[in-house]
Amino acid sequence: MNDLILVLNCGSSSIKFALFDAAAQPLPRTPLWNGKVDGITGPRPTFGETGVAPSPVALDAAQPYHAALAHIRERVRARLGSRADMQYRIAAVAHRVVHGGAKYSAPVRIDAAVLADLKAYIPLAPLHQPFALEAIESLLASRPDLPQVACFDTAFHHTLPDVEKMLPLPWSAWERGLRRYGFHGLSYAYMAVALAERHGDAARGRAIVAHLGSGASLCGMRGLESVSTTMGFSALDGLMMGTRCGALDPGAVLYLMEIEKLTLEQVGHVLYHESGLLGISGTSSDPRDLLAVEGGDERARAALALYVRRIVRECGALAAALGGLDMLAFTAGIGEHNADIRARVCAGLAFLGVELDAAANAAHAPVISTPGSRVRVAVEPTNEEWIVARNAACIAGLAAG
């Protein structure tokens, strides 16, 4: 009987899953089988899996995440059922959990007490935490014997100095645990491994990793550890995103509530779901759609300009925190695939010595800067699922559980 680790990665616009062979040493980076439901809250959700191109999938519009999870569960069941000859069984399920709060800075085996702790963080990551926890809870109920492990987006940032963690609120807020956590840490943990392998000392120096997906953040690393990051207390901070505002003057929130009389719930909806690229363009949260129409669409143009400006500004801030810049690495859906956005960001960073090789950028090559560029610019596909599986496999007794 071969033991498998099933990884579930609940993002804001997608749920990704992957099956890894738990016994393989070292754990291969390519899973035995993987797939994702993409565009969950958009008009055209799709499902794709290893060897099968994405195609439209119908999701219950009232509960799209719930429906997407059910679809994945069904596909996994069908797939394992059809491979009876292979004698595979799922020995553990490992989850990307976005928020681990101050308590969890390492992966943890999940039980009822851990689940209760993680539920307390739902208000800090309402787009992500409930869906990972929904999957965990239903498995705890139906398969209490099955080990489950939570791996946290916040954990990689435990190396942040206090000056990066602190919010300029009254001191008692810090004592109550209101602080900047940082997110996308599983992606940054993978990038620390992959960039060091591919780029050696350049990656170990002063590096910025730009995780540009549906959610987006930057991480300033020195010695492959997080020293500064743009997402903070919640997944709303920092860069402008597909539907999230990013860093915002808190006075604007007060104004929306006090003068324009939006309720707390309405403001939350605006900031998480109706802002960012979608909010400004009025048409799409996906830069591909906006790039296709920007010639004749002023709002698409404005959305892209602000999106790029925020990345450039925050890169400048992180370069200051790092005391200079040796490497800039792009990853996640947009970072890996959108050469146009990368080119615009790099043009804005010419003052730091960034010089783009246009042909390498168009080809999504691993190095997209010129040989003379003072900053090496890289494109590296992230692999959060492998980090999650590797962490889960390291938890003692898991494969035997």
Ligand X SMILES: Nc1ncnc2c1ncn2[C@@H]1O[C@H](COP(=O)(O)OP(=O)(O)O)[C@@H](O)[C@H]1O
Q: Which active-site residues does the annotation give?
A: 153
Q: Which residue is nearest to ligand UVW (CB)?
A: 215
Task: Using CB atoms within 10 Å of the CB of residue 146, give its burial: 0 to 12 exposed, 13 to 18 middle, 19+ buried.
Answer: middle
Does position 64 interact with ligand X (CB under 6 A)? The reply is no
Does position 182 interact with Mg ion (CB under 5 A)? The reply is no
Tell me which stretch binds ligand UVW (CB under 6 A): 50-58, 154-162, 208-216, 390-398: 208-216
**Nearest distance in Å: CB 50, ligand UVW:** 21
In degrees, rounded to 5, the angle at the alpha carbon of residue 335 between the alpha carbons of residues 329 and 337 is 125
Give the DSSP per-residue string, 159-207.
G--HHHH--SS-HHHHHTT-------HHHHHHHHHHHHHHHTHHHHSEE
**Nearest distance in Å: CB 26, ligand UVW:** 26
Does position 242 interact with Mg ion (CB under 5 A)? The reply is no
Instruction: Evaluate the omega torsion of the peptide bond into residue 26 and state whether it is cis, within 30 degrees of 0.
Output: yes
Count of other CB atoms within 10 angstroms of residue 231: 29
Q: Which is nearer to Mg ion, 6 or 319 (CB)?
A: 6
Q: From residue 278 to residue 297, what is the string marking binding to ligand X with x (rule CB under 6 A)?
A: --------xxx---------
Residue 206 and residue 28: Cα distance in Å, rounded? Answer: 29
Does position 129 interact with ligand X (CB under 6 A)? The reply is no
Tell me which stretch binds ligand UVW (CB under 6 A): 25-33, 133-141, 211-219, 276-284: 211-219
Q: Cα 272 from chain centroid?
A: 15
Does position 6 interact with ligand UVW (CB under 6 A)? The reply is no
Does position 276 interact with ligand UVW (CB under 6 A)? The reply is no
Does position 220 interact with Mg ion (CB under 5 A)? The reply is no
Does position 215 interact with ligand X (CB under 6 A)? The reply is yes
What count of residues does the chain have?
A: 401
Nearest alpha carbon to residue 32 among 85, 79, 64, 70: 79
From the list ligand X, Mg ion, ligand UVW, none, partner contacted by residue 334 (C-beta under 5 to 8 A by kind): ligand X
Does position 147 interact with ligand X (CB under 6 A)? The reply is no
Does position 186 interact with ligand X (CB under 6 A)? The reply is no
Instruction: Give residue for tokens 């069941």.
Output: 77
From the list ligand X, ligand UVW, Mg ion, none, partner contacted by residue 286 (C-beta under 5 to 8 A by kind): ligand X
Nearest alpha carbon to residue 285 among 39, 30, 10, 65: 39
Residue 3 and residue 201: Cα distance in Å, rounded? Answer: 37
Q: From residue 6 to residue 25, what is the string marking binding to ligand X with x (rule CB under 6 A)?
A: -----xxxx-----------
Distances (CA, A) of 362 to 105, 216, 303, 349, 379: 38, 22, 22, 18, 11
Does position 153 interact with ligand UVW (CB under 6 A)? The reply is yes
For residue 282, the 8-state DSSP code is S
The per-type count for the chain, helices as H runs and strands as E runs, is: 16, 13
Does position 183 interact with ligand UVW (CB under 6 A)? The reply is yes
Binding site for Mg ion (CB under 5 A): 11, 213
Point out which residues bind ligand X (CB under 6 A): 11-14, 213-215, 242, 286-288, 332-334, 337-338
Q: Which residues make up the interface to ligand UVW (CB under 6 A)?
A: 11-12, 98, 128, 153, 183-184, 213-215, 235
